[in-house]
Structure 1
Amino acid sequence: MAGETDVYEVPTYAKCIEDIYVSISKYVRESEAGTFGPTGFYNQLEEYGYFPMRDFAVVGGLAVLWTIIRYILTENVFLPLGKYTQMSMLNQKKFPESAFKLIFYVCTWTLSTYMLFIKEDKYTFFERPLDLWKDWSPGMFVPWDMYALYMVQCSFYLHSVYGTLYMDQWRKDSIVMMFHHFLTLSLIGFSYAARFHKIGVLVLFVHDITDICLEFTKCNVYLKTRGGKIHKLNDHLTTIGFLFFAGTWYVFRLYWFPLKILLSAALADKSINASVGPLPFYIFFNSLLWILQVLNVYWFLFIVRFLYKIARGQMSEVDDVREIDVED
């Protein structure tokens, strides 16, 4: 749990970037050169990493389970629904992916929201992100709810690698999505092994909400044209979903993510208990978070392009922002 400290004051973007630069550059100057090489990383992993075989087994087993559940839902619910509602053949192939992901992200975001804001002994990481590191120690105990969230998410992204290759409809950014899955899988698995699970919960919280909006929008894109007719309800829900998607992407991924998570990660070495010593994996973990943020900006450019085309009248309706057959 976070300590009872003063309420966190959200900095400006400029102050955030300045503090991040100062903290990271100071860490680099004061660290030994061998810390940043493969040997130094491997030594830290041996000393501080903790990912027992039983957890590997849980992740692998759940990944297989997600694949089986998705296959069962696809064959018995999603595909029959597509045929019953008279979607086009192409949309019948796309719909199961989005429907399955929508259900998954609603469940995981509900859990992280409950943990951070609703339950009686909630975690106060969102309100006090700098307190994330105060009680950090190697191999520290992971509360059961965080453990469950981590195992579920880690296994889902392992399944997603398989899903992108063999189950999903191929899209313009599928290669980028593969990179995203591997990056997310690395972040989740590594942060669990290093016991950076508290900040990991925040990362998942700010990202899952936009995925809900995205998959909701895509489901309605596929549902709005049925039997050769445009259904107004799904058309309106598509527009509303896309606006929420764009808004939550900016607020959660481009505002809260840097100002709460990137800044907290950069200041982590100052925040941990002095008796623990320097925080291991500092540069590596910060690098992974910044790569994730670059991807967030990359995908936001797709959103801006869509909004621009709609504003200019070059598009009359919202379509799948990841679709390969969208006209440039």
Structure 2
Amino acid sequence: MAASTLQQRPSGSHKLVSSKKSLLNSTPNAPTGSTHQRRKGLLAAMDRHQIDGPLVAILTILGTYALSPDSLAKKFLFFQEYDAETRTYEKSWDDIYFVIFWVAAFTFLRAAVMTYVLTPMARRLGAASERAVTRFAEQGWICIYYSFSWVTGMYCLQLTPTWKNWLVWFHTDQFLDSYPLTALPVITKYYYYLQFAFWIQQLFVLGIEAPRKDFLATISHHLVTVSLISFSLGLNVTTFGTAVFVAMDLADIVLSFGKCLKYIEMPDSICDPIFAFFMIVWVYTRHFLYGHIIYAWITYGHGYSSKLTYYVVICLLMVLQSLMFFWLWSICRIVYKMFASKGGVVDDRSEDEDEQPVEFNGNAETKNVVPA
């Protein structure tokens, strides 16, 4: 975390960056899309070709499938082990082809949507600097993806006995109902493996973009998430994974939407209620509901896995919860400083290292230096 300096207006009065804006400028799960300090070598080349590189691979697979529907290309596009009687897909090692294809597809979609849709939108909506345009595009993509994934995940969850009600989403004693879940409904199968591909692709995003000051916490979060997805598939307990997905996604939708509004300089009367709602959603989903998931595994998971695996999953779940508390502590600290100083706050932010964003105030530029 770093403390932001005061900004000097041309008239001599001081301008402090709002603490609420600081929170909207930092998030555990945000992709790091700054144009500063790009990686070098192979990663730099991959960064430059996020659209055309994956597009060539995608078109090659689609073209091959069109010419020869029974070729290997079919495995990249569709799951293979379909049971027409139960209308489910069985788990198969061939599923890895589908994941690989969608890692490439998400790389292409993210870069294309940010470049051709969200970046022009940010400029038309009044983003005042190139940094704000970039941030708007990053957070816009996150908002779009998590909105679709959360709605789909909630639908999949309600197909299981785990679903309880909209206040407490989970019956903790039903997480392992119908164990082992080697066969999944069509929508659940596609949803789960698309999520798997998305989180692997997020590791790629962290690798090609400049690291932020909470890079270690963020990469730890992503690695733990991918590990938990892998364990849930290996142990055939994907209901747990679906529950974790929906518990985590909702807060990211609210936060990324609020950040987009802040980057196009919407008034505080609009952003503040979103900020308050985000805090409520964060505590409710990432601590209260996620706590139910941890409790369910601790209570019932030992009967469905080896002793070693049981404790490894507990450790991963607790590490993820610890990271959530780390970011909650940062959120609470910002809020405390906001009220305690009555506006004279010192921002704590998770920003790009050594970045010097330029903000515009009327016709005069003022530079806010964020020290490393």
Do these two structures clear the TM 0.5 threshold for a shared fold by scoring above it?
yes
**CA distance 1:323–1:238, shift in 2 (3 Å):** farther
CA distance in 2, matches of 1:200, 1:211: 17
Hey, what does 1:300 align to over in structure 2?
328
Instruction: Tell me if the contact between 1:238 and 1:318 (Cα under 8 Å) persists in the aligned partners.
Output: no
1:166 equivalent in alignment to 2:208: yes
Matching residue of 2:174? 131
RMSD: 2.9
Alpha-carbon distance in 1 for matches of 2:137, 2:175: 38
Q: Determine the C-alpha separation between the residues in 2 that align with 1:159 and 1:115.
A: 22
Q: 1:264 matched to which residue of 2?
A: 296
| 2:123 paired with 1:59 | no
Structure 2 distance, partners of 1:237, 1:79, is: 22
Runs of 4+ more than 4 Å apart = 276-280, 314-321, 324-328
The reply to whether residue 323 of structure 1 matches residue 351 of structure 2 is yes
TM-score (norm 2): 0.64
Q: Is the 8 A contact 2:162 2:170 kept in 1?
A: no
Higher relative contact order, structure no. (Cα contacts within 8 Å, ≥ 6 residues apart) = 2
For residues 165-202 of structure 1, what are the alpha-carbon distances to aligned partners after superposition, in whole Å with 9 as ceiling and x for unaligned? 325x6432133212211111111122112111011111
Corresponding residue of 2:80: none
Distance 1:318 1:244, change over 3 A: farther
AA matched with 1:237: I
Match of 2:118 in 1: 78
Higher strand share: 2
Say whether the 8 Å CA contact 1:102–1:215 is kept in structure 2.
Answer: yes
Q: Say if 2:337 and 2:346, in contact at 8 Å, map to a contact too.
A: no
From 182, 186, 200, give the equivalent of 1:144. 186
Q: Deviations over 1:198-218 (max 9, x none)?
A: 111111111111111111121
1:13-24 alignment runs, 5 A limit: none
Q: Distance in 2 between matches of 1:278 and 1:170?
A: 37
Q: Aligned partners of 2:348, 2:275: CA distance in 1, in Å?
A: 10
**% identical equivalent positions:** 24
Q: How many residues align?
A: 262
* Distance change (3 Å), C-alpha of 1:72 and 1:134: closer
The structure where helix makes up a greater share of residues is: 1
Partner of 1:7: none
Q: In the alignment, is the contact (CA less than 8 A) between 1:150 and 1:192 conserved in 2?
A: no
The residue type equivalent to 1:178 in the other structure is I
Q: Is the 8 A contact 2:99 2:193 kept in 1?
A: yes
Moved more, 123-132 or 94-103: 123-132
The amino acid across from 2:283 in the alignment is Y
User: Secondary structure at 1:124's aligned position in 2?
Assistant: coil
TM-score (norm 1): 0.71
Distance (whole Å) between structure 2 residues aligned to residue 107 and residue 56 of structure 1 = 22
